[in-house]
């Protein structure tokens, strides 16, 4: 299925963008779809393949903007969907138990080629495998906005969308990209906030992504969650998700799943946190590599200046006006 929109290349004059992302300098980045989602400039065939993903009523999709709780939510959803099969969960969440739909679109051509090579990391190679060979029921996770997902998705499949306050999401995205050396070491948090709020970063812009899902929150096949409510009352979110998926969990299963999904437990879970792959490595910023970093509400205060915080406040106010959506930006005082 061809995309009904032509990609719009992000020109080389976007000096801040290409200074921040060395791996994309040769082949470039482009905007795709009605909201201008940013992916590798050569990603059109990949996104067209994503759009024609076959849909089945027993499929479950987890959608989110980057660093908003995709892995956390997918781990919860997989275990509920598979009747709390904790033994079966002893393998990588992505790509073994979930299908990361737009992984190839996110990768630069160089990374994609390296991942496809016979001698490269097996996990990276599996990220690029087509969905057709995966057993059902399938759990699909993606950073694509609904507009780039297969038409009819919500009318066919259950969809869980997880949102997070964009200040924490932005800081966490910056830390991840800096730690895995995707970002140039010279890129400051202020530079990144500029790119983030302008929607000039891979998998962005943020607000078109989240608001498309928010407008569909009453659809019977949509469950709209937030990272902050998972932090505040995880058990209640587990129970809501189980009800949404038509599952009934015993009290013992709820207890065990709540413990398993606590952020402290998730951060030590090598199958989610990729711990046995990164093996204590440190990134370009000197921090120990960890996919699950802090998972805090309000950590942005430790990284954003007053001026940068106010800049994000104005951006959030402008985009949220009239939508009815609000974000919790700070953890409540105990």
* Dist CA 106 CA 112 (whole Å): 9
> Residue 288, by phi and psi: left (phi above 0), alpha (psi -120 to 50) or beta?
beta
Note the pTM of the prediction, 2 decimals. 0.91
Set out the domains of the chain in order of their start, with CATH numbers.
8-317 (3.40.50.300)
Q: Which two tokens stand for residue 144?
A: 């694509």
Question: ∠ at Cα 96 (242, 278), nearest 5°?
Answer: 110
Tens of pLDDT, residues 96-136: 899 999 999 999 998 888 887 755 567 777 888 889 888 89
Average pLDDT, the chain: 90
Tens of pLDDT, residues 283-313: 444 554 454 545 578 889 999 999 999 999 9
Tens of pLDDT, residues 224-235: 999 999 999 999
Tens of pLDDT, residues 44-79: 999 999 999 999 999 999 999 999 999 999 999 999
Is the confidence at residue 265, as pLDDT, over 90?
no
Contact (Cβ atoms closer than 8 angstroms) between residue 43 and residue 215: no
């Amino acid at each position: 299925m061809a995309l009904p929109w032509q990609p719009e290349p992000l020109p080389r004059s976007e000096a801040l963008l290409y200074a921040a992302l060395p791996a994309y300098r040769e082949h470039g980045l482009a905007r795709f779809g009605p909201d201008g989602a940013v992916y590798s400039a050569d990603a059109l065939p990949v996104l067209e393949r994503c759009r024609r993903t076959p849909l089945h009523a027993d499929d479950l999709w987890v959608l989110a903007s980057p660093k908003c709780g995709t892995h956390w939510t997918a781990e919860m959803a997989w275990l509920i969907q598979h009747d709390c099969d904790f033994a079966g969960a002893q393998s990588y969440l992505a790509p073994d138990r979930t299908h990361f739909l737009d992984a190839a679109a996110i990768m630069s051509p160089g990374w994609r080629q390296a991942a496809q090579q016979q001698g490269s990391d097996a996990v990276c190679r599996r990220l690029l495998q087509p969905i057709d060979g995966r057993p059902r029921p399938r759990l699909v996770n993606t950073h694509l906005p609904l507009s780039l997902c297969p038409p009819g998705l919500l009318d066919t499949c259950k969809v869980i969308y997880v949102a997070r306050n964009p200040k924490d999401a932005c800081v966490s995205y910056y830390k991840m990209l800096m730690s895995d050396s995707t970002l140039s070491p010279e890129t400051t948090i202020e530079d990144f906030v500029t790119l983030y709020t302008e929607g000039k970063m891979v998998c962005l812009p943020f607000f078109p992504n989240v608001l498309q899902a928010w407008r569909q929150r009453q659809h019977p096949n949509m469950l709209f969650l937030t990272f902050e409510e998972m932090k505040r009352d995880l058990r209640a979110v587990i129970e809501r998700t189980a009800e949404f998926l038509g599952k009934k969990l015993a009290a013992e299963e709820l207890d065990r799943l709540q413990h398993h999904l606590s952020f402290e437990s998730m951060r030590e879970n090598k199958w989610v946190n990729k711990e046995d792959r990164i093996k204590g490595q440190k990134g370009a910023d000197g921090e120990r590599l960890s996919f699950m970093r802090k998972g805090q509400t309000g950590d942005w205060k430790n990284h954003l200046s007053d001026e940068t915080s106010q800049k994000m406040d104005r951006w959030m106010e402008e985009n949220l006006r009239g939508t009815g959506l609000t974000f919790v930006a700070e953890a409540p005082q105990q």
